[in-house]
Structure 1
């Protein structure tokens, strides 16, 4: 078995001494960089590939027509984001339990915990089914245009199988991460993305199935990834997997309560993106507004997925160092990660500004949509810089055990301040979709107090 990501407390390694020269700073910088990317690389690759499945679906559909792009954007960004946030949050409880069990040497419990999470998440899928079945009237209730809502509703019903794949995939990912099997997850995600691109071309263009073909490819790819993860667990993880057990049904309600608590924090942030799309659907010329914003958010999402990997890495690093009573090492790890994240954000911003008149061609053939996207490029660039820092701060908070504080900050930044500001400027001041990128920058508020606390540690 590979070494665990979290080292045991009391391993004898001393904390860093104060840095007194450039040479010492260079050594610490390199050491912390290696430690961080050893974790962030595979996890970031996995998340990027999973997000890429959504993104390339939008890309292929966007070349069918503007209406289809709006419909798929609503389905994936509203209904899909709602269920994704809830399911991922429910599955996040497993991350804590599996990590603790592995660290305590109770490796056999990992398989039982994973099965318990499968049961809970499959039940959650059944609870979420009405939202998928009645997606069209729900979207109309939120004020979306009838033609877009009806088409989005049809697509949402067709991707119900993908919802159930999450119930298998999320717990399996947490099971593998607890045992440092992150490289296997990265390869499965990469191969799944490649297969998805091939299936999209086959079903949409070769068989001419249109939107239905995109949904079929989405379902098949999601289940292939979930199945591959399960096969890997059964075939190559004998330490943690000892077969199906009735013990998975024991103490399940305590597990449910922990899962719900984990879901609350994550959903506040993930559902915010859903609210932005709903708000945009009320603007004048909603199809162009949703399309242009979806292109910007799609690219911004690619950057965000990379930083989710960094988020996981810094969370592990901070919790690891604090657990070993090495606050100086935790502080230096935060410094190094923040600097590198900011540099990555600046790089993405420069690329966006250089290609602002052309990058939308990847997503749509509409000149009107491309023109609208070009006008949003500057706001998108600023958003990318600010969003390069926020996930790192959130990861620090998770590593330090300050999830409740993050939940309050997210609630205030996103819902009490960000969304009302977007509504007022978008409709009262008639700034339209530009505001949606501005409200996205409220992410920078999340975590400043947390950052100060870590720096004072």
Structure 2
């Protein structure tokens, strides 16, 4: 498809001019409320099922960790390291590289270039499966790697064994993210929620049987986690192949192997951007292993990270929603609608953030009971509750800016911002407070919160200084470049 034919198609689909059909000017408070209600319904239609799906998928590991925590402290620490550091590493890479598909599929869907969605999905699968093959060596040598960076030998050995059992999950994530982005771009989020809910029910039942009734321990937990992720992959693939996405899915094609250069570049930028975020708080677990009484510290931090992870699934649902809304509106040539969607979702998430912050303060002495029976661990968790509550508030809005960046295609810029805010400022500050000033886990966490705050402020400034008309025009050029010769 050449540039002229793409432009003609784009104009035809948008009422005869590039910005036709955009959000009209808002008149007074009543107009603002009506526009906000209309946009909120669109966001919740996308975010509701996406939140449920994210919560179910996150719960696969979170519930496993809860079960393992009642087996023993060593087992809990080993699973926390394997899940947060080893699996967290691969999850961040796969989620990040897969998020390139949100930009491509979202803008192509907005411009009515539906057939390209299936080609994009297959290209993403090719790239992610190759990446998974390369990353499998980290799983195989994870025990040695953990010892090399100073983790306790007993914890490193158990985590290394567990990581090998979790290898199938690595290849499942290489498949599930392209499938998910393909469906999300078309707003087919309800079926994803049903599949995730079914997988979670089976996971809880069989994990309980394997760990407690059949005494399979850590390896049983890992195997059930692998099976549950592959249930999600196969069910989503079956839905797509059944003919329900026939406009966007034209079957398997060799076009997936063409024009990979531009796709790899965007995937790499997306991967770096998201990985720097996903690894950031995983580092908190890792750095806690170097302070006194490391087992208690890791257990306490892993419980807090578990709760942060639950909240992040809500944020991730709205991250998906705003990414789809921004990419669809920019692809359709509606810059004002894209900007208004951003304002609406930020307001919504601030309200949710304050509610979750209040819940943590109210239950600060009780919530750790669900994860551990150790009085010492529960005491440390209670002492960290204030930091946890503030992190909950901050993390309610921070991922939204990431969703805006993905929808607009700013991945490379945000990667630089994340690198500077998190790893040049946040991590060194946390290490200084935690080790040099002997503040322990609290000091490490405070430094990392400061890094997140800096990143959020910078992205907020960029988002509200953006020329959305220019972004909508650029989307046409992006679609032309990414279509390639399909």
Shared fold (TM-score, shorter chain, > 0.5): yes
CA distance 1:196–1:439, change in 2 (3 Å)? farther
The answer as to 2:442 corresponding to 1:439 is: no
Deviations, residues 250-306 of structure 1 (Å, cap 9, x unaligned):
334443333223212111111212322211111111110010001001101111111
Deviation at 1:221, TM superposition (A): 0.4
1:317 maps to which residue? 325
After superposition, residues 343-382 of structure 1 pair within 5 angstroms as: 343-382=351-390
1:74-132 CA deviation, whole Å, 9 max, x = no partner? 00100111111112222223333333444454434433332332222222111011100
Mapped partners of 1:166, 1:398: distance in 2: 19
Q: Taking structure 1 as reference, are residues 88 and 335 closer, same or farther at Cα in structure 2, changes over 3 Å only?
A: closer
1:335 to 335, 343, 347: 343
Q: 1:301 aligns with which of 309, 329, 347?
A: 309
The equivalent of 2:431 in structure 1 is: 423
- Which is worse superposed, 354-363 or 234-243? 234-243
Counterpart of 1:125 in structure 2 is 132
Deviations 1:134-157 (A, max 9, x none): 100100111100000000001001
Residue ranges of structure 2 left out of the alignment (5+ in a row): 1-11, 468-486
**Match of residue 461 from structure 2:** 452
Choose from 173, 180, 197 the match for 2:180. Answer: 173
Counterpart for residue 214 of structure 1: 221
Q: TM-score, normalised by structure 1?
A: 0.92
Call closer, same or farther: CA 1:400–1:88 in 2, change over 3 Å.
closer
The total of aligned residue pairs comes to: 450
C-alpha separation in 2, matches of 1:381 and 1:117: 37
What is the alpha-carbon distance in structure 2 between the residues aligned to residue 99 and residue 339 of structure 1?
23
Does 1:267 pair with 2:275?
Answer: yes
Residue 239 of structure 2 is matched in structure 1 by 232
Q: Is the 8 A contact 2:26 2:35 kept in 1?
A: no
Residue 205 of structure 1, CA deviation: 0.8
- Residue pair 1:393, 1:448 contacting (<8 A) in 2 also: no
SS of residue paired to 1:69: helix
Contact 1:387 1:444 in 2 (8 A): no
The partner residue of 1:391 within 381, 385, 399 is 399
Within 1, Cα distance between the matches of 2:167 and 2:209?
21
After TM superposition, the score normalised by the length of structure 2 is 0.87
Report 1:16-415 matches (<5 A).
Answer: 16-21=24-29, 23-235=30-242, 236-321=244-329, 327-415=335-423
Distance 1:127 1:345 in 2: 38
Q: Is the 8 A contact 1:317 1:333 kept in 2?
A: yes
Give the SS at the match of 1:217.
Answer: helix
Structure 1 pair 425–328 and aligned structure 2 pair: CA distance change class (3 A): same
Gapped runs of 5+ residues in structure 1?
1-6
Gap change, CA 1:337 and 1:419, over 3 Å in 2: same
Q: Distance in 2 between matches of 1:291 and 1:83?
A: 22
The change in CA–CA distance for 1:258 and 1:115 in structure 2 (over 3 A counts) is same
Q: How many Å separate the matches in 2 of 1:349 and 1:191?
A: 30
Answer whether contact 1:383 1:437 (CA < 8 A) is retained. no
CA–CA separation in structure 2 for the residues paired with 1:142 and 1:296: 23
In structure 1, C-alpha distance between the alignment counterparts of 2:366 and 2:69, rounded to whole Å? 15
Partners in 1 of 2:410 and 2:101 — Cα distance?
18
* CA separation of 1:266 and 1:454: change in aligned 2, threshold 3 A: closer
Distance in 2 between residues matched to 1:198 and 1:96, nearest whole Å: 37
Deviation at 1:133, TM superposition (A): 0.5
SS in 2 for 1:446: helix
Whole-Å separation in 2 of the counterparts to 1:319 and 1:93 = 11
Deviation of 1:183 after TM superposition, in Å, equals: 1.1
- Please tell me the root mean square deviation across aligned C-alpha atoms, in Å: 2.2
CA 1:268–1:156 in structure 2 vs 1: closer, same or farther (change >3 Å)? Answer: same
